[in-house]
Amino acid sequence: AQKITQTQPGMFVQEKEAVTLDCTYDTSDPSYGLFWYKQPSSGEMIFLIYQGSYDQQNATEGRYSLNFQKARKSANLVISASQLGDSAMYFCAMRVAGGYQKVTFGTGTKLQVIP
Amino acid sequence: DAMVIQNPRYQVTQFGKPVTLSCSQTLNHNVMYWYQQKSSQAPKLLFHYYDKDFNNEADTPDNFQSRRPNTSFCFLDIRSPGLGDAAMYLCATSPPGHLVDYGYTFGSGTRLTVV
């Protein structure tokens, strides 16, 4: 079975500073993908970044980067230069090749950016 | 732009009165999912379709049904909504599961209120 753990229910960060949101995962499948989604208060789920289990380099997308440590089974999201619009719920998620299609979500971290 | 569209964005229904939520996609993805998300919780998978094959999660109540008349459309029917069914309902699509580098594409969600 696959499992995603997000241990930070809530985080605060000062505007313009960087913040790291933690995510650990567990799977026995060697082929998997890790994702981060942002969910503002309006409710839509917005894809942020993807990391494949065989990728040698950490993924980056603009201000978002994924700190992938395979041996530790962690996939932390780093947001640089936080903006007020970054205030939202953030979900870490995983999909495995051997799984039957579904993506497993963590419980989420609520990030609040302080002016 | 290819996308996933959910209608309506907000739905108010009476206790016990059947309600249908709709989802359409222009991505031509094989797989469509319905998730229920209650406040401050992770999305919970209700069921999914792989093409016409329906897959129900073991803990999805019988009160929830789904239809997929064609590749583009999928419906969620709640036969007798209770107060506990008030939630955000998210539709998502994806290519087949062996393509782990593809996550979900989500619709904007339907927020259901039961009065």
Q: A101 and B97 in contact by Cβ < 8 A?
A: yes
Nearest Cα of chain A lies from the Cα of B93 at a distance, in angstroms, of 10
**Which tokens is B12 given?**
């108010």
CB burial of B65-74 (b: ≥16 within 10 Å; e: otherwise) equals bbebeebbeb
Model pLDDT for residues B18-52, shown as the tens digit of each residue:
999 999 999 988 889 999 999 888 999 999 998 89
Nearest Cα of chain A lies from the Cα of B80 at a distance, in angstroms, of 24
Nearest Cα of chain A lies from the Cα of B92 at a distance, in angstroms, of 10
The Cβ of residue B36 has, within 10 Å, a number of other Cβ atoms equal to 19
Please tell me if residue B56 touches chain A, with a CB cutoff of 8 Å: no
Nearest CB partner across the interface for B101, out of A33, A91, A103: A33
Torsion sign (Cα): A108, A60, A17, A82: negative
Q: Is the pLDDT of residue A100 over 60?
A: no
* Cα gap B4→A48, rounded to integer Å: 17
- For tokens 């999909």, the residue is A95
Looking at per-residue pLDDT, the higher value among A52 and A111 belongs to A111
| Helices and strands per DSSP (H, E), number in chain A | 0, 12
- Most confident segment among A43-52, A63-72, A92-101: A63-72
Nearest CA among A90, A80, A105, A104 for reference residue A10: A90
- For tokens 């419906």, the residue is B75
* Cα gap B76→A35, rounded to integer Å: 26
Strand-pair partners of B22: B7, B75
- Residue B94 has a pLDDT of 85
- Residue A30 has a pLDDT of 87
* Cα gap A103→B45, rounded to integer Å: 9
Q: Is the separation of the CB atoms in B25 and B72 below 8 Å?
A: yes
Q: Is the pLDDT of residue B61 over 80?
A: yes
* Strands B10-13 and B110-114, sheet pairing: parallel
In which band, very low, low, confident or very high, does the pLDDT at B95 lie, cut at 50, 70 and 90? Answer: confident
- For tokens 């971290």, the residue is A109
Q: Is the separation of the CB atoms in A15 and A83 below 8 Å?
A: yes
Contacts of A75 in chain B (CB under 8 A): none
Residues A68-75: what's their mean pLDDT? 96
